[in-house]
């Protein structure tokens, strides 16, 4: 996927393209998760589309739920599972965005280590 430590460091322009690609992938992942949450809250909590979107967005960002009362146990279960799912997605997306940056740092350190040896 990325260049091996024995290869040259990627040029800056290609590195920025790699970072933008990863940001795009993270955005797509967030969008899909937001759709899942919006549809889920609309179907289980019988909230309006705007309220469902708002609640899913707040949970996905880590701010917490907005809806004060859930009409059924199914809605409470969905909310709980979606909150856990959102936490995992948030952490995974941080990894997706930071992967090329961390790889570049480690790659540079390996190149400097090989040069001094």
Look over the chain and give the mean of its residue pLDDT values, rounded to a whole number.
90
pTM of the model: 0.83
Instruction: Give the residue among 29, 6, 19 at the shortest CA–CA distance from 102.
Output: 19
Sequence spans of domains, the chain: 14-116
Name the band, by pLDDT with cuts 50, 70 and 90, for residue 91.
Answer: very high
Architecture of 14-116 per CATH?
Orthogonal Bundle (1.10)
pLDDT at 25 over 70: yes
Instruction: Give the residue among 43, 40, 110, 46 at the shortest CA–CA distance from 81.
Output: 40
Instruction: Give the residue among 48, 50, 83, 78 at the shortest CA–CA distance from 65.
Output: 83
């Amino acid at each position: 996927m990325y260049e091996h430590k024995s290869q040259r460091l990627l040029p800056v322009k290609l590195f920025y393209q790699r970072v933008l690609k990863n940001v795009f992938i993270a955005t797509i992942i967030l969008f899909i998760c937001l759709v899942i949450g919006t549809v889920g809250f609309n179907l289980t909590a019988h909230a309006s589309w705007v309220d469902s979107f708002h609640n899913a967005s707040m949970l996905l960002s880590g701010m917490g739920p907005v809806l004060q009362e859930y009409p059924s146990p199914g809605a409470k279960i969905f909310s709980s599972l979606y909150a856990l799912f959102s936490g995992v997605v948030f952490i995974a997306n941080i990894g997706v965005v930071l992967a090329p940056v961390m790889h570049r740092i480690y790659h540079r350190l390996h190149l400097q280590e090989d040069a001094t040896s």
